[in-house]
């Protein structure tokens, strides 16, 4: 814990973490808020899953594109424009009556314009700490972001039930605008310039570590999205229990991230962390009571933040600095496609086979992610005792002879 305290004393680190968490706080609210809102409108979890899937697909397409644009246009212009379009789209979805197809189209636009805060901050981190601090910083960041998933579902559920689902969505939009503006005003954002990548779009995916992180991230987030839908279906949209259980799920991730943040990252590290998630989700299928789900998801959550820390670490150590934003964009795309798949499959599964089927879906995604990580372990860099900073960009230097 002393190393985390030292990290937070490093100039710029605490405010970067706080600002980006605020800007990304809607991620912990919007899925649940829209799930409850659309299910109430159309009496169908399948319809809600389709809208959430459309939003996630938009984000997935935008991930590498907006990340790459930051190397051409700068972080601030890209984040500002996308924030304005995204916030406007979310507000329209909340207040304008429209059919499911209309909600899907506007949701797709909202996802397409989601500000690339995560790739931006992942690119800035190596410039504000030394190489020895970078791996613990990724672990701290992965743990801290669980605040989003602890408080977000609880706040979204509370506001949706006590006030209205529209109020919950508008509150998420307010966090998006306020947090993005705060992030844009930070001096570190202005000081770090992402070099323009000389590679074609998508070439970075040829790096085995980037592809592995993208695929396993897909499975991990698909599992989390399916759990979210399943828990809401178990307790119903009229109960706050779903928010509390999902909050406990995130607390498990926070505990795991802080406890395992300094664990060496070897070839088996990702598979081991995914195994924890899969085991907890399998246990969750046994009984659908509040306390059993809370216990099982607390256990499953212990593997989540450590798994994300490994994903970020192996990507950072495998690509050039000019490619880091795009690489994290692709990893984010994999996660968002996972969210789309998890939400859609779980939604239709609930409609046809009941709430417990969504938990089975989640366990299946997590188990598949564990198997992929184990089979591809030879492609995961061994970071034990290694520098996890991005590879420096080099270019020919002209000399006078």
For 82-94, the pLDDT digits (tens) are: 999 999 999 999 9
| pLDDT band for position 388 (cuts 50, 70, 90) | low
Q: How far apart are CA 331 and CA 359, in angstroms?
A: 24
First to last CA, the chain: 55
124 burial (CB, 10 Å; 0-12 / 13-18 / 19+) is: buried
Q: How far apart are CA 206 and CA 223, in angstroms?
A: 25
Question: Taking the mean position of all CA atoms in its chain, how far away is CA 234?
Answer: 24
Average pLDDT, integer, range 42-46: 80
Backbone angles phi, psi at 361, to 5 degrees: -60, -45
Determine the pLDDT at residue 294: 92
Mean pLDDT lowest among 181-190, 269-278, 319-328: 319-328
Cα 179 to Cα 65, 172, 248: the distances in Å are 22, 10, 24
Determine the pLDDT at residue 254: 80
Convert the pLDDT of each residue in 255-314 to its tens digit.
887 777 667 778 888 899 999 999 999 999 999 899 999 999 999 999 988 888 888 778
377's tokens:
């372990």
Determine the pLDDT at residue 367: 94
- For the chain, helix, strand, coil in percent to 5 are 80, 0, 20
CB atoms within 10 A of CB 202: 11
DSSP-H helix ranges across 146-185:
146-162, 165-185
Question: Taking the mean position of all CA atoms in its chain, how far away is CA 4?
Answer: 22
Average pLDDT, integer, range 225-241: 80
Residue 319's closest CA among 243, 172, 229, 210? Answer: 210
Average pLDDT, integer, range 91-118: 92
Ramachandran sector of residue 385 (left: φ over 0; alpha: ψ -120 to 50; beta: rest): left
Q: How far apart are CA 250 and CA 218, in angstroms?
A: 18
- Please report where in the chains the tokens 């198997």 appear, as a residue: 371
- CATH ID of 13-194+201-379, from 1.10.3470.10, 3.40.50.880, 3.40.50.300, 1.20.1250.20: 1.20.1250.20
Q: What is the DSSP letter of 379?
A: G
Would the pLDDT of 235 be above 90?
no
206's tokens:
């040829």
For the chain, percent of residues with pLDDT exceeding 90: 28
Would the pLDDT of 334 be above 90?
no
Would the pLDDT of 131 be above 80?
no
Determine the pLDDT at residue 390: 58
Determine the pLDDT at residue 2: 61
Determine the pLDDT at residue 325: 73
Mean pLDDT lowest among 19-33, 134-148, 221-235, 379-393: 379-393
Residue 355's closest CA among 232, 242, 222, 250? Answer: 232
Would the pLDDT of 214 be above 60?
yes
Specify which residues 320 forms β-bridges with. Answer: 391
Would the pLDDT of 234 be above 70?
yes
Would the pLDDT of 243 be above 90?
no
132 burial (CB, 10 Å; 0-12 / 13-18 / 19+) is: exposed
Determine the pLDDT at residue 379: 75
Backbone angles phi, psi at 169, to 5 degrees: -70, -40
Residues with Cβ < 8 Å from 400, sequence gap 6 or more?
none
Q: How far apart are CA 358 and CA 240, in angstroms?
A: 19
């Amino acid at each position: 814990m002393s190393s985390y305290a030292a990290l937070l004393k490093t100039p710029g680190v605490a405010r970067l973490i706080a600002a980006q968490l605020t800007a990304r706080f809607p991620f912990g609210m919007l899925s649940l808020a829209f799930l409850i809102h659309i299910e109430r409108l159309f009496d169908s979890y399948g319809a809600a899953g389709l809208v959430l899937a459309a939003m996630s697909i938009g984000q997935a397409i935008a991930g590498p594109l907006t990340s790459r644009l930051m190397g051409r246009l700068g972080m601030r212009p890209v984040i500002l424009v996308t924030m304005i379009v995204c916030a406007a789209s979310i507000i329209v979805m909340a207040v304008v009556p429209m059919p499911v197809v209309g909600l899907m189209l506007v949701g797709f636009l909202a996802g397409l314009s989601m500000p690339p805060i995560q790739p931006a901050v992942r690119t800035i981190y190596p410039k504000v700490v030394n190489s020895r601090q970078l791996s613990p910083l990724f672990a701290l960041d992965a743990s801290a972001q669980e605040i989003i998933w602890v408080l977000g579902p609880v706040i979204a559920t509370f506001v949706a039930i006590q006030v209205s689902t529209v109020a919950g969505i508008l509150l998420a939009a307010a966090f998006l605008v306020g947090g993005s503006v705060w992030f844009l005003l930070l001096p570190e954002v202005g000081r770090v310039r992402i070099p323009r990548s000389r590679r074609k779009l998508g070439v970075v995916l040829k790096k085995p570590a980037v592809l592995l992180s993208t695929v396993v991230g897909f499975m991990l987030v698909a599992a989390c999205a399916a759990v979210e839908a399943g828990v809401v279906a178990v307790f119903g949209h009229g109960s706050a229990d779903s928010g509390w259980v999902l909050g406990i799920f995130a607390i498990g991730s926070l505990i795991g991230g802080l406890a395992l943040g300094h664990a060496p990252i070897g070839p088996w590290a990702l598979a081991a962390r995914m195994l924890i998630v899969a085991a907890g989700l399998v246990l969750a299928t046994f009984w659908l009571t509040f306390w059993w789900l809370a216990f099982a998801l607390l256990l499953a959550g212990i593997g989540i933040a450590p798994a994300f820390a490994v994903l970020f670490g192996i990507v950072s150590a495998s690509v050039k600095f000019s490619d880091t934003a795009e690489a994290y964009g692709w990893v984010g795309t994999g996660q968002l496609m996972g969210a789309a798949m998890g939400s859609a499959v779980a939604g239709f599964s609930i409609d046809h086979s009941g709430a417990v089927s969504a938990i089975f879906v989640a366990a299946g995604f997590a188990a598949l992610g564990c198997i992929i990580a184990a089979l591809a372990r030879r492609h995961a860099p061994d970071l034990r005792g290694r520098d996890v900073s991005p590879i420096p960009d080099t270019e020919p230097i002209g000399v006078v002879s």
